[in-house]
Amino acid sequence: MTDENTAPGQPATVENLLNENRLFPPPEDFKAKALYTDESIYAKALADPSAYWVSHAERLDWFEKWNQVLDWRPPFSRWFVGGKINACYNCLDRHINAGLGDRLAILWEGEPGDEQRLTYNDVFKAVNKFANGLKQLGVKKGDRIAIYMPMVPEAAYAMLACARLGAIHTVVFGGFSVDSLRDRINDAQAKVLITADGGWRRGKVVPLKDTADQAVAGCESIEHVVVIKRTENEILMQDGRDVWYDDLVASASESCAPEPMDSEDILFILYTSGTTGKPKGIIHTTGGYMTGVSATTRMVFDLHDEDIFWCTADVGWITGHSYIVYGPMANAATQVMYEGSPDYPERNRFWKIIEKYKVSKFYTAPTAIRAFMKWGVKWLEGCDLSSLKLLGTVGEPINPEAWIWYHKFIGAEKCPIVDTWWQTETGSIMISPLPGIVATKPGSATRPMPAISAKILNEVGEEIQVGGGFLAIDTPWPSMLRGIWGDEERYKSTYWGRWPDTYFPGDGVKRDSDGYLWLLGRVDDVMLVAGHNISTMEVESALVDHEAVAESAVVGVTDEVKGQAIGAFVILREGFDDSDEIRQQLMKHVAEKIGAIARPKTIIFTHDLPKTRSGKIMRRLLRDVAEGRALGDVTTLADPGVLNSLKEKYSDS
């Protein structure tokens, strides 16, 4: 293997690639074809951010142009004020009008191996019919529509059909439980739920409709449930309420006029975990969000017409919204969409897909990369990955070892890696290298995107140049969240309460002496399990909901593959004895309440929890116990003896 980045005579082993200060400049042949190669883009955007954002907004079609780029009354922003636009129109009609109707939009592969190759024309027809079907069910502009789906093309159609009508979608990840789905539908007061009879995962059917039925039983706002047929799973259809998608669209017309939306009309709500048990309905609007995702998809992934893009996220997360549906489709990209698990039927499924569809731009999560590392390179044997040109990662900090593995074994040392930091709230990528310009460093997300003003601040808002602190963003950007659905106070206090007029993302960060940014993970009580946000409170509430549990404390514990795993400390009620059976029951209970991703990895039974004298649980100490570290400062503890007994228990478990 040749490597331009390796000094002569030095073999490219993981050890010698792994040098903190080693830079990986954009490979020459990549740079030669890259869309952005001129460093001056950063200075220009800084000098005139408004002109920068306008240049990206102008790549979209507007029914009416804006009369003001930004109206910023912290913490409320309005972008492209007075502009009229439709997100679905920009993802479909615009390309068809430009003669690209026959271009492939989605190369879909189901887990069992079935496939569909869909052109922009195909997607356009399906979305128009779906939108007309929803109209027949009474869906209008501003209505909320919940989507609870497997990774099938209809999930994207459903989102785009809502956008076409101006209805607000709220997608709930298909792995979420009855309670999680019900809470989200109720919070959003959704009128229609779109789901499927099931989806395939590791060779089994996930019974989405059964879960949906139980959830909807507690949702008065739901008038109809639309069901996509994906499996042969037997399901119940409730007369008058439930309707098969196939019947709904059978006679629907292929033409449905796109609703001209105000730039600031809501496009979607997406729930994310916060530091309390109640998830936050993050609001994104139309014009700014579309500008942000369309610009960043093109720039960060250096998207060319001939590219085959593949983002392995689920549409239930923001990554699926921004980098499967709206970003790639706004750029008329051709992309792979895959329904199932990476290890089914075997651990090389992703590599087989890359080979089959000749994927050139691949975007996945560090947790997946660490799983691939663990499974070993033997799974790469016989898979041709030579179509790859660029690799991306998102979801949590990537450890340098995983970065190097990705670079060496998946990218054959010729693909730039874009480590992209962003959030549900930011809507689009905020910190990431531009692959034709910025030299990368394993584990560093490098620098903010053009026109993004990211700073490092300490508790009192003083700026730190080199060293660690809190990440802060002190100027607005088009795809920023506009609020929390139904809770303006929480929006202000969660994101804008720490420093004046400055956004607080909740992440720690440090800058090294070369000016590179290193994201350090969450500083609040939000865990990142396999790149997904789960709050400690949410899991604690699920645990105390069980009859055996009196009190619990939950911490994120470092995990080799998932980044963090959930560690729970539980005090049982009188009359319940700790046993493996109860432990299993509690794990199951949490998975049922929230979803399988929230299942604790360990549960330690205890009679007491370390608390300050004011009664606040000291999670930092529990984390020390769970990770087997020397204990930090215990002087504020009401009863320091508690920890010793906990430590003993932990080493037995």
Cβ atoms of 419 and 440 within 8 Å: the answer is yes
Report the C-alpha gap between 433 and 364 in whole angstroms.
16
Binding ligand WT7 by CB under 6 A: which of 389, 522, 583, 589? 522
Tokens 């392995």 — which residue?
A: 312
Of residues 531 through 550, those in contact with ligand WT7 by CB under 6 A are: 531-533
Min separation Cβ 286 and ligand WT7, Å: 20
Report the C-alpha gap between 48 and 445 in whole angstroms.
24
Min separation Cβ 423 and ligand WT7, Å: 4
Min separation Cβ 426 and ligand WT7, Å: 7
- Give the rounded distance of the alpha carbon of 624 from its chain centre: 28
Bridge partners, 529 (sequence order):
532, 563
The token pair that represents 478 in the structure block: 């088009």
Min separation Cβ 232 and ligand WT7, Å: 33
DSSP secondary structure letter of residue 398: P
Position 279 contacts ligand WT7 (CB under 6 A): no
Binding ligand WT7 by CB under 6 A: which of 77, 334, 335, 424? 424
Min separation Cβ 507 and ligand WT7, Å: 5
Report the C-alpha gap between 67 and 264 in whole angstroms.
13
Position 379 contacts ligand WT7 (CB under 6 A): no
- Give the rounded distance of the alpha carbon of 78 from its chain centre: 24
Find the DSSP H helices in 510-599.
Answer: 536-544, 580-593
* Closest to ligand WT7 by CB, 218 or 521: 521
Position 34 contacts ligand WT7 (CB under 6 A): no
Binding ligand WT7 by CB under 6 A: which of 89, 176, 271, 422? 422
Q: Which stretch binds ligand WT7 (CB under 6 A): 231-239, 288-296, 405-413, 502-510?
A: 502-510
Q: Which stretch binds ligand WT7 (CB under 6 A): 129-137, 340-348, 372-380, 530-538?
A: 530-538
The token pair that represents 576 in the structure block: 């319940």
Q: How many residues bind ligand WT7 (CB under 6 A)?
A: 24
Report the C-alpha gap between 435 and 448 in whole angstroms.
13
Min separation Cβ 390 and ligand WT7, Å: 15
Residue 155, exposed/middle/buried by CB under 10 A (0-12, 13-18, 19+)? buried
Bridge partners, 418 (sequence order):
392
Position 454 contacts ligand WT7 (CB under 6 A): no
- Give the rounded distance of the alpha carbon of 131 from its chain centre: 26
Bridge partners, 338 (sequence order):
109
Binding ligand WT7 by CB under 6 A: which of 170, 180, 312, 420? 420
Min separation Cβ 506 and ligand WT7, Å: 6
Binding ligand WT7 by CB under 6 A: which of 49, 505, 600, 610? 505
Cβ atoms of 335 and 485 within 8 Å: the answer is no
Binding ligand WT7 by CB under 6 A: which of 394, 534, 566, 621? 394
* Closest to ligand WT7 by CB, 484 or 570: 484
Position 101 contacts ligand WT7 (CB under 6 A): no
Cβ atoms of 337 and 320 within 8 Å: the answer is no
Binding ligand WT7 by CB under 6 A: which of 519, 529, 555, 609? 519
Report the C-alpha gap between 2 and 414 in whole angstroms.
9
Position 445 contacts ligand WT7 (CB under 6 A): yes
**Whole-angstrom distance between the N-terminal and C-terminal Cα of the chain?**
45
Position 423 contacts ligand WT7 (CB under 6 A): yes
Position 440 contacts ligand WT7 (CB under 6 A): no
* Closest to ligand WT7 by CB, 430 or 622: 430
Position 479 contacts ligand WT7 (CB under 6 A): no
Position 502 contacts ligand WT7 (CB under 6 A): no
Position 552 contacts ligand WT7 (CB under 6 A): no
Report the C-alpha gap between 176 and 183 in whole angstroms.
11
Angle, helices 49-57/287-300, rounded to nearest 10 degrees: 90
* Closest to ligand WT7 by CB, 293 or 548: 293
* Interface map 303-322 toward ligand WT7 (x if CB under 6 A): ---------------xx---
Q: Which stretch binds ligand WT7 (CB under 6 A): 63-71, 390-398, 485-493, 566-574?
A: 390-398
* Closest to ligand WT7 by CB, 223 or 524: 524
DSSP secondary structure letter of residue 378: G
Report the C-alpha gap between 392 and 641 in whole angstroms.
47
Angle, helices 580-593/536-544, rounded to nearest 10 degrees: 120
Q: Which stretch binds ligand WT7 (CB under 6 A): 100-108, 210-218, 241-249, 525-533?
A: 525-533
Min separation Cβ 256 and ligand WT7, Å: 31
Tokens 């356009």 — which residue?
A: 124
* Closest to ligand WT7 by CB, 242 or 507: 507
The token pair that represents 42 in the structure block: 């950063």
Give Cα separations from 155 to 104, 195, 312, 505 (angstroms).
Answer: 17, 9, 15, 29
Residues that bind ligand WT7 (CB under 6 A): 272, 318-319, 394-397, 419-424, 445, 505-507, 519, 521-522, 528, 531-533
